Structure 1
Amino acid sequence: MLLSCSGWACTRLISVSKVPGGNPVARQDPDGFAIEFMICDFCGSNFCDRCHEPGSRFRAPRCTSCGGKLVSGARLEQMSGRPRPAAAQHHAQAVRLMESGRFQDALPELDEAVRLRPEYAEAHRVRGIALSGTGRHAEALAAFDQALQLNPSDALAHVERAGTFLRMERPAEAIAAYDQAIALRPGYAAPQINRAIILMDGGRDAEALAAVDRAIALLTSGSAVGAGRYDLASAHSVKGAALVKLGRYAEALPVIDYAIDNGPDSWNDHYNKSYALERLGRIEESERARGIADSLRNS
């Protein structure tokens, strides 16, 4: 049996086997598979041996999601038949609702989850996302702060705080929140890309270019964590825009082409390409790119 690890951005699988010492294939690939793991006795999350903090002589290790006690994975069969506590059920239902865009409907479920279990860090973070998504930004920030009090290592809470600050048109505080996420998870590229966008929007184009170059280096190094499917294309899109703003049109073109070829259709990439081509005197190509940009923008 294979289980997923609930540790943030962990790609290891947990191999559960009755073979003494564990499945030999899994044992030969420790970066891909864990043999030892722990289970949260409250929410049921599984954590590989690299993704949970050690306990102490007097205190069992705790789940960063809900604060529950972690117990040995050897108890998997015993625990698998247990119904999850009400707070965990409310949280799970809220996540399902939010996955279908029903943020308002999710809020009562999350309110109940944190009422029943105030130490439920992930429920506070998810509640903050739902609040921000329904325009209740000040309440969302309070929910993220509560999540971070309970789990100071939650980089995602900082990222969501940053997004809420942006919706409130408070870019300096958004940058500070992204900086906190980056300090916690230096290998997490998304906040570095988003930070570069804010810098560029604020006219700090050279700083934005340096920031997005660091993100691209991270993504191409193979050491990035939590990377999304289009992160590298998005980083090239931002870099191309920064180069155009800095007047470095010839350098911008291959960067923008990478974003176009590897990311989702974006009218902005084609517009930037058109502008760079026009500045380089390549008018016919510029008009073709502008036509694509206008078509995408109006679709």
Structure 2
Amino acid sequence: MILSCSGWACTRLISVSKVPGGNPVALADPENYAIQFKICEDCGSYFCDRCHAPGSRLRAPRCASCGGKLAPGTKLERLSGRPRPAEVEHHKRGVELVKSGRPDEAIREFDAAVALRPPYAAAHHWRGIALTEAGRPGEALAAFETALRLNPSDVASHFEKARALTRTENTAAAIAAYDQAIAVQPGYPAPRINRAILLMDGGRDADALAAVEQAIALITGGRAVGAGRYDLASAHSVKGAALVKLGRYEEALPAIDYAIDNGPDSWNDHYNKSYALERLGRIEESEIARGIADSLRNS
């Protein structure tokens, strides 16, 4: 049996085998497979041996998601099919509602979850996301702060806290929150990309370029953790915009073209391309790019 680790951005698989000592294939590839793992008795999350806290002589390790007790993976069969606590079911429904674009309904589910279990870190985290999506960033900040008190190493909550701060137009605090996310997980490119956007919006174009170059280096160097499908394209989009603002039009074009070719359609990329081409005297090409930008912007 193969299970997925529930640790944040963990790509390791968990091999459950009745072969004495473990599956030989998994044993030969410890970077991609774990043999030892733990399972949360409440929410059923699985954690490989690199993603669960070892605990101490005085306290058993707890689930980073719900705070439940972590049991050895050898208890998998005994715990399978076990009814989940009501707060876990509320949390599960809340996540589904957020992902289906129904944040107001999701908030009610998360409210119920944290009322039943106040130290439910993941429920506070997702409640913050739902509040942000519902246009209530101030309340979302409080939710993320609670999640971080419960799990200070939760890089996702640092990231979402920064996004909520951006919505409140508290740029300095948002940059500081992205800095904290980077400090917790230096390999996470998304905080570097979003931080670069804020720096550029504040007129710090050279700093923005340096920040986004770091994100690109992480991804292309295979050192990124938790990279999204379009992170590299987004990073090139920001790089191109920063280079345009710095007047480095020739350098900007390859970055912008990469973003256009590999990311979702963005009128802003085509506009930046048009502007750079115009400045380089390539008027006909500039007009074509401007036309595409206008079409996307008005669609």
Q: TM-score, normalised by structure 1?
A: 0.98
C-alpha separation in 1, matches of 2:85 and 2:65: 14
Alignment deviations for residues 93-134 of structure 1 (CA, whole Å, 9 cap, x no partner): 101111101100011111110011111001011111111221
- In structure 2, the residue matched to 1:156 is 156
C-alpha separation in 2, matches of 1:184 and 1:77: 35
- In structure 2, the residue matched to 1:280 is 280
Aligned residue pairs: how many?
299
Alignment deviations for residues 169-210 of structure 1 (CA, whole Å, 9 cap, x no partner): 111111011011010010000000000000001111011001
C-alpha separation in 1, matches of 2:107 and 2:235: 33
1:202 paired to 2:202: yes
What letter corresponds to residue 263 of structure 2 in structure 1?
A: G
- In structure 1, the residue matched to 2:42 is 42
Alignment deviations for residues 9-42 of structure 1 (CA, whole Å, 9 cap, x no partner): 0000111111111111111111111111000111
The within-5 A match list for 1:184-263 is 184-263=184-263
Shift >6 Å, 4+ stretches: none
Q: Percent identity?
A: 75
Deviation at 1:66, TM superposition (A): 1.2
3-state SS, counterpart of residue 71 of structure 2 = strand
- In structure 2, the residue matched to 1:24 is 24
The within-5 A match list for 1:49-60 is 49-60=49-60
3-state SS, counterpart of residue 3 of structure 2 = strand
C-alpha separation in 2, matches of 1:140 and 1:264: 28
- In structure 2, the residue matched to 1:128 is 128
Deviation at 1:259, TM superposition (A): 0.8
C-alpha separation in 1, matches of 2:61 and 2:48: 13
C-alpha separation in 1, matches of 2:136 and 2:266: 29
CA RMSD of aligned residues (A): 0.8
3-state SS, counterpart of residue 59 of structure 1 = coil
C-alpha separation in 1, matches of 2:112 and 2:292: 49
C-alpha separation in 1, matches of 2:97 and 2:77: 29
Deviation at 1:58, TM superposition (A): 2.0
C-alpha separation in 1, matches of 2:137 and 2:236: 31
The within-5 A match list for 1:77-88 is 77-88=77-88
1:11 paired to 2:11: yes
Alignment deviations for residues 138-194 of structure 1 (CA, whole Å, 9 cap, x no partner): 221111111111000011111111111111111111101101101001000000000
- In structure 1, the residue matched to 2:100 is 100
C-alpha separation in 2, matches of 1:236 and 1:6: 30
3-state SS, counterpart of residue 39 of structure 1 = strand
Deviation at 1:88, TM superposition (A): 0.4
Segment drifting more, 239-248 vs 53-62 = 53-62
3-state SS, counterpart of residue 38 of structure 1 = strand
Deviation at 1:137, TM superposition (A): 2.1
List runs of 5+ in structure 1 lacking aligned partners. Answer: none
